Chain A
């Protein structure tokens, strides 16, 4: 059972570099999400996609972009990384209906130096 796969597991990145975090799900879920988790702040929504071909901004979208070319993949790109983007990033998916639960990947630990 794969579920949601995130890559890489962890990364140290120089400030100013471009980085794409990968997320793939095999559950044919319509909706996908990217969150960042920071101590004391919980999970904050970066971007979301309710269906392939559409995306939306969450609570903290600045400095990040996403695309949803197909149902399975939802990559998150940092165009020019800054130290404040040091965080643990979680990708999640759900079937799409509001009353369904989200399934989470194992996370990507990103350190920007």
Chain B
């Protein structure tokens, strides 16, 4: 069965600082990996996804993630945090049958 673990339920950074949100997955087949963002009282929006090919994936709003098979990781990064990045972020894995999500990481950005 596939699963996702997000390390850190809450991350706080200063505006302009590096954002690093951690995600490790477990899957019995080559995984497809996703990062979603959720703003208050809204549904989830796709930030980026890894399917095949290049392991460094760029998404919207300056975010990117790197698939590392040897570490079973798909960490999300952004070089410089903006106040508008404050939200909840979810990592997800899909094996073709369904899609499983991590518990989420709440990102706070301090001025």
A interface residues (Cβ-Cβ under 8 A, vs B): 4, 33, 35, 40-45, 48, 50, 56, 58-59, 90, 92, 94, 97-99, 101-102, 104-107
Contacts and interface: CB of A to CB of B under 8 A. Distances in A.
Going nearest first, the 10 A-B pairs with the smallest beta carbon separation are: A98-B96, A104-B43, A99-B51, A42-B103, A43-B101, A104-B44, A42-B104, A101-B46, A99-B32, A48-B98
B82 interface: no
Contacts of A99: 32, 49, 51-52, 94
Given A43-B90, A99-B52, A90 B97 contact: no
Nearest to A3: B43
Contact of A42 (B43, B46, B90, B98): B90
Interface of B: 6, 9, 32, 34, 36, 42-46, 49, 51-52, 90, 92, 94-104
A35 B101 contact: yes
A81 B52 CA distance: 42
Nearest to B30: A98
B98 A56 contact: yes
A98 B95 contact: yes
Contacts of B102: 42
Contacts of B103: 40-42
Contacts of B100: 45, 59
A79 B95 CA distance: 30
A97 B44 CA distance: 19
Contact of A94 (B6, B45, B52, B99): B99
B100 to A, nearest CB: 6
A27 B95 CA distance: 21
